[in-house]
Amino acid sequence: MIFRQLFDRDSSTYTYLLGSNEGKALIIDPVKEQIPLYQQLLKELGLKLEVAVDTHVHADHVTALGDLRDMTACVTMMGEQSGAACVSKTFRHGDVVALGELLLDVLYTPGHTDDSYCLYLRCPEGNRVFTGDTLLIRGTGRTDFQNGDASDQYHSLKHLLSLPDATWVYPGHDYKGWTVSTIGEEKRFNPRLQVSNVDEYVSLMENLKLANPAQMDVAVPANLKCGQTTSRP
Ligand code: FE
């Protein structure tokens, strides 16, 4: 398997590129401004982009899904709750996204948004879970807009924490310099997970008082159109 973690500095977004043994590629949460980098990497590694996935409708950056589909004819995918009519396929909890020998279990993990999903990859180099903005390293995704719900997120996080402790955790963002963690590490050291019940978690999340993301008013409507805001002929 080929595996790359890519970073968009402006939005602190992580994008993941997976490559199968037969040269097929899947990209998770690609950022529109980083398309030249993805194209370069795909070419250099001899990969053909087959699938592009967004873990949810992002509020802090514009997705590259639509442009990548137009350039590579890849399949674009989001959760069935996303309402993004532009995707070629939607997935739901329990589905499996296959890329050659790589199989990703689809986990519905609402809370950050009502269309948030995580993807769980079993592989000999170590199982890994792509947690979107549900579980961050030493943090969790905010729940105060886009139909977010702290109580739903608590239950989604519980589900993620039931994965094996050794599972690698690859989040959708990081603002402090973390790159990767494990389920076991987050269980022990993530301050948001040191709560004893759902009510404690909900009150913790209600008291965060965060500013809205700078790009929110542009990004959400654009992402419902797979990042393509101008009409095409
Ligand atoms: Fe998000």
DSSP calls for 127-188 = -EEE-TTTEETTEE---SSTT--HHHHHHHHHHHHTS-TT-EEE-SB-SSS---EEHHHHHH
Ion ligand 1 neighbours, Cβ < 5 Å: 133
* 45 CA distance to ligand 1 middle (Å): 29
* 233 CA distance to ligand 1 middle (Å): 31
Q: What is the pLDDT of residue 230?
A: 63
Q: What is the pLDDT of residue 213?
A: 82
Cα 233 from Cα 212, distance rounded (Å): 34
Query: How far is residue 226 from each of residues 6, 87, 191, measured CA to CA in Å?
Result: 20, 7, 34
* 58 CA distance to ligand 1 middle (Å): 5
* 41 CA distance to ligand 1 middle (Å): 25
Non-local (6+) Cβ contacts of 108 within 8 A are 79, 92, 93, 116, 117, 156
Q: What percent of the chain has pLDDT over 70?
A: 98
For the chain, the distance separating the N- and C-terminal CA atoms, rounded to the nearest angstrom, is 38
How many CB atoms are closer than 10 A to CB 69? 20
* 112 CA distance to ligand 1 middle (Å): 7
CATH value of 2-213 in 3.40.50.300, 3.40.50.10860, 3.10.180.10, 3.60.15.10: 3.60.15.10
* 22 CA distance to ligand 1 middle (Å): 32
* 113 CA distance to ligand 1 middle (Å): 7
Q: What is the pLDDT of residue 36?
A: 98
Q: Which of 5-14, 54-63, 184-193, 213-222 has the lowest mean pLDDT?
A: 213-222
* 100 CA distance to ligand 1 middle (Å): 28
Task: Enter the DSSP assignment of 196.
Answer: S
* 46 CA distance to ligand 1 middle (Å): 30
Q: CA 86, 36, 51 angle in degrees (round to 5)?
A: 40
